[in-house]
A and B are shown apart, each in its own frame.
Chain A
Amino acid sequence: MQAVNIIPMFVIVPLAGAFLNSLVEKKAKWVPDAIGNLSAFILFFFSVLAVQVVRTHGTLVYSVGAWKLPLGIAMVLDGLTAFMLVTVNFIAFMIALYSINYMERFTAKGKFYTLFLLMLTGMNGVIVTGDIFNLFVFLEIASVASYALVAFGTEKHELEAAFKYAVMSTVGSMFVLLGIVLLYGLTSTLNMADMANMLAQKGAANLVLMVSVLFIMGLGLKAALVPFHAWLPDAHPSAPAPISAMLSGILIKSLGVYAMVRIFYNVIGMTAELSSIIMFLGTLSMVVGVFLAIGQWDLKRLLAYHSISQIGYVFLGIGLGTPLGILGGIFHLFNHSVFKSLLFLNSGAIEYSAGTRDLQKMGGLMSKMPVTGSTNLIASMSIAGIPPFNGFWSKLIIIIAAVQAQRFGYAFWAVVASVLTLASFMKVMKYAYFGRLKEGLMSIKEVPFFMKLSMVVLSVVCLIGGMLLIPSLRDIFLNRASDVIALGVNYAAIVLKEVSLSW
């Protein structure tokens, strides 16, 4: 098999899985579990393979339907793509494992896995595509699947949250589409690399400024940056726990952060104004998110507010634009997807056993649920930035990068937000896991095997995540991703060179 043929697999496998699953889900009880987990595992395997492929072959371009580029749809595999693919598919595989036991609470397990795989299709598609309209299509596939998943419980709260989320997200997609239309009108091409070339030739037009604003609004809505965040604290807690983990862990990153970074750095080209806007919005989300989080008593809602805050760190790091800042940003993206999905899975485990999300009704769960308690402790320490866990290293890099870039104000707020994060997770640990066991919780049991397995694996990754900074590992994984971002619009030259070689 040629190395380039691995690229479309990331869309084909989950799409085929979703289709097959909806056909045969009723045959036997274990069928949806098997299909969902098998597809997720194959994707994880392929994504690890993709890292190896990028290491040996460099950037690869696949042209869909063998149309000569830039006429046809391109799919591009480079360092950043491989990095995002590993992140998304690893978390998705862990969540699929967790769902085997957890989704027994709901009746329509088959439908759950179909929507899950469709959402995965959309996210992988957004990541691998090199065509800007195709990016919009995959964005919508992932979004529509996620609206349905938020409403999965079909109770009052779920429906209300799903409606709010769907309306706001549809408006966001509309802005993205409008931006794409204007870019197409300016450049008469849809291929991202070709478009970057055309934009560079045309010079700075006022239209590009307007398009940037549209993308900040549209993709900022998907990423839940602060002025556009109102849907997230409702939508993420209302979904079933694996889906909350999926939404907070990877959906807002692949649809929001990745798409924004790809378009701003590699297509439009980063300017000083854009980067200061992104840094400002990032810091604003960081601070506002953590202040709103600290007063929450609903565990999942508290975690959702922390997602807003942590996304702010990612944007601050990437917005700095220095190599160190970008490295810190994408490393924090990886770390956040690991520990935030772990925290949501823990909250799901509590809901599974104790049947509550209210912190005031919990207490002393550590003695009854040791695995959940200790993995939650690890994840809390990671998110609060305590060494040696992975969250510490990425926050440290971002703060050092901010100081190096003479942005002392941003560095200060990053430290403040980190301290407040620590405070609010101390609250979680105190009320939920330590202290006296409440009366009604005497008879609860630890969660079943697969839930424990995925939580333990994720917590091990939290523990050893800092190892990714060891130079030899960093060269393979993180540096290749940050190089692509630092490359800026030169991305076009590399992709187009690859195209001319293959024809």
Chain B
Amino acid sequence: MTLYLLCLLLFCLGIYCVLRKRNIIKIIVGLIISEYAVNLFFILIGYRMQGRSPIFDQKADILNMVDPLPQALVLTSIVIGVASMALLIAIAMRIYEKYGTFDITQIKELRG
């Protein structure tokens, strides 16, 4: 239970960083943190206390194995995260070229 709560804390930390920080790079770091919190949570869902690695073996019994599916899925989700973060950082670099600053209070020519 404590682990789950810590995971939630990490997620909230990331979201806080996205909402409150003014620097574009810090916003991206916040996104990365909360994304990792979700991935970590996914791994924790599949974890069994004192479980063994999920490799089939003639001698070992099937009981008490760690759920392998979340691990496979998290791998996918990490790759997706890398793609979107790479794109975000590329956009951030271009923004710096155009505006000469990372401060979002000075990058507000559009009013949403």
Contacts and interface: CB of A to CB of B under 8 A. Distances in A.
A163 B70 contact: no
A370 B101 CA distance: 45
B91 interface: yes
Interface in A155-187: 155-157, 159-164, 166-167, 170-171, 173-174, 177-178, 181, 184-185
A151 B84 contact: no
A171 B17 CA distance: 12
Contact of B84 (A161, A166, A230): A166
Contact of A178 (B38, B70, B110): B38
A148 interface: yes
Contact of A151 (B38, B91, B109): B91
- The binding surface of chain A is classed by DSSP as helix
B31 A160 contact: no
B41 A147 contact: no
Interface string B31-54: 100110010011001000000000
A163 B91 contact: yes
B66 interface: no
Interface in B67-102: 67, 69-70, 73, 76-77, 80, 83-84, 87-88, 91-92, 94-95, 98-99
A144 interface: yes
B95 A159 contact: yes
A463 B4 CA distance: 56
**Interface size class for chain B?**
20 to 34
A149 to B, nearest CB: 11
B41 A233 contact: no
Contact of B80 (A140, A171, A232): A140
Given A137-B76, A174-B38, A163 B95 contact: yes
B10 interface: no
Interface in A96-130: none
A154 B94 contact: yes
Contacts of A185: 45
A234 B73 CA distance: 33
B112 A233 contact: yes
Contact of A166 (B88, B98, B112): B88
Given A147-B84, A161-B110, A166-B87, A178 B41 contact: yes
A133 interface: yes
Contacts of B92: 163
A118 to B, nearest CB: 11
Contact of B109 (A156, A181, A232): A156
B41 A166 contact: no
Given A137-B80, A140-B84, A162-B91, A234 B98 contact: no
Interface in B8-48: 11, 15, 18, 24, 27, 31, 34-35, 38, 41-42, 45
A117 to B, nearest CB: 16
Contacts of A136: 77
Contacts of B24: 163
B107 interface: yes
A147 B91 contact: yes
Contact of A171 (B31, B42, B69, B98): B31
Nearest to A230: B112
Nearest to A141: B80
Given A144-B83, A177-B38, A167 B88 contact: yes
Contacts of A233: 112
A307 interface: no
Contacts of A184: 42, 45, 69-70
B39 to A, nearest CB: 9
B92 to A, nearest CB: 7
Contacts of A133: 73, 76
Contact of A234 (B18, B38, B94, B112): B112
Contacts of B27: 167
B68 to A, nearest CB: 12
12 contacts: A151-B94, A160-B95, A160-B107, A160-B108, A161-B110, A163-B95, A170-B88, A171-B34, A173-B84, A174-B35, A177-B77, A178-B38
Given A157-B109, A184-B70, A231-B112, 14 more contacts: A137-B76, A144-B80, A147-B84, A147-B91, A157-B110, A159-B95, A160-B109, A163-B92, A166-B87, A166-B91, A170-B88, A177-B38, A181-B38, A234-B112
